[in-house]
Amino acid sequence: MLVRLESLTYEIMKKPEQYLRPEVIRQVARLDLRAKFIVEGFLQGLHASPFQGFSVEFSEHRKYAPGDDLKDLDWNVYAKTDKYYIRKFQAETNVTGYLAMDLSASMGYTYRQELTKFEYGICLAAALAYMMIHQQDPVGLVAFDTAIRTALPPRSKRTQLGNILALLANLKPAGKTDVSHSLIQLASMLRGKSLIMLFSDLLAEPEPIIQSLHQLRHRGHDVIVFHILDEAEVYFPFDGLIEFKDAEENQRMTLDAAGMKPDYLEAVQAFRAQYKEACAKAGIDFVAMDTSVGFDKALMEYLLQRRRRF
């Protein structure tokens, strides 16, 4: 079992209003500009079957395949390349997105990074909401600990991003969590096939969480798991005798950091590998992140990878 470690030197929580500080909002705006050339491709991927459709807005090309409608052949491309290409179009059907934020106490941890795991997740969620709303795709928010505590219905209006950020600004990670139960609750709320974006450190027993993720996929939902760990949780940069506290159980222990490090790093790798393998089998995107990498860079890398697959 991977232990939730919290250095006692860094227990001060940041004020909720800092989630809306101008530099964070500027980062979101910059991300939108930097990601503009892939937003269309990203959402085209989300709109893949069962969301595939056609509209009057041209999107991209793909090679002709037997059975394709000949009226969609691009003869200009044929004249230049002597090859047949079909014009692809953006989907008319919108995909409905849900941002699912973990409110567990462990999400409020940071060792030496500016952002806690929770704030890091907020930045990711805001950027994704920004892009979805930019494409007029409705997106909503649920926040949970041992159960869903807050729910904002999906909307595609421009004001929705402000609603999401304002709601996140009033949330504070505290207490225990039950990711599995909360995802089952969310599944019961969904009326159509949706895109679920989970932001969590997943510091709980993996099997129940994996089962609930598989249930979402079995019901036809697209799922992306953003697994957010702090830099210290991934690399364990401690030395000497250190006292740690479990952020959710309030248990304390003193450890020889150097002696524990090899076993701890092995446990972290196995922990991530278990989720990665289980998610891959179910067709779920598992995105391992740590707070030492800028959220915009991490998200861009993921979106580029996803774009290449569609």
More confident: 177 or 67: 177
Residue 166 pLDDT: 79
If you average pLDDT over residues 233-241, what whole number do you get? 90
If you average pLDDT over residues 126-153, what whole number do you get? 89
**Identity at 24, one-letter amino acid code:** V
Domains of the chain: 6-45+94-309 (3.40.50.410), 56-89 (no CATH)
Which CB contacts under 8 angstroms, 24+ apart, belong to 14-19? 14/116, 14/119, 16/169, 16/170, 16/171, 16/172, 17/169, 18/119, 19/119, 19/122, 19/165, 19/168, 19/169
Top mean-pLDDT range of 53-62, 129-138, 174-183 = 174-183
Residue 12 pLDDT: 28
Cβ neighbours for 145, distance < 8 A, ≥ 6 positions apart? 102, 103, 104, 174, 175, 176, 177, 178, 182
Has residue 128 got a pLDDT over 50? yes
Residue 184, token pair as written in the block? 């089952």
Residue 247 pLDDT: 66
Has residue 5 got a pLDDT over 60? no
Residue 21 pLDDT: 54
Residue 29 pLDDT: 53
Tens digits of residue pLDDT in 51-74: 333 333 444 566 767 766 777 777
Has residue 148 got a pLDDT over 90? yes
If you average pLDDT over residues 301-308, what whole number do you get? 75
Q: How far is CA 303 from CA 55, 70, 100, 217, 274, in A?
A: 23, 31, 18, 20, 22
Share of the chain above pLDDT 90, in %: 43
Phi/psi-derived region of residue 220, left when phi > 0, alpha when psi is between -120 and 50, beta in every other case: left
Residue 92 pLDDT: 42
Residue 60 pLDDT: 57
Q: How far is CA 194 from CA 47, 150, 217, 279, 283, in A?
A: 10, 18, 10, 17, 14
Has residue 258 got a pLDDT over 60? yes
Q: How far apart are CA 10 and CA 16, in angstroms?
A: 17
Has residue 48 got a pLDDT over 50? no
More confident: 126 or 181: 181
Has residue 140 got a pLDDT over 90? yes
Residue 299 pLDDT: 83
Has residue 47 got a pLDDT over 60? no
More confident: 149 or 2: 149
Banded pLDDT at 304 (limits 50, 70, 90): confident
Say what the pTM is.
0.73
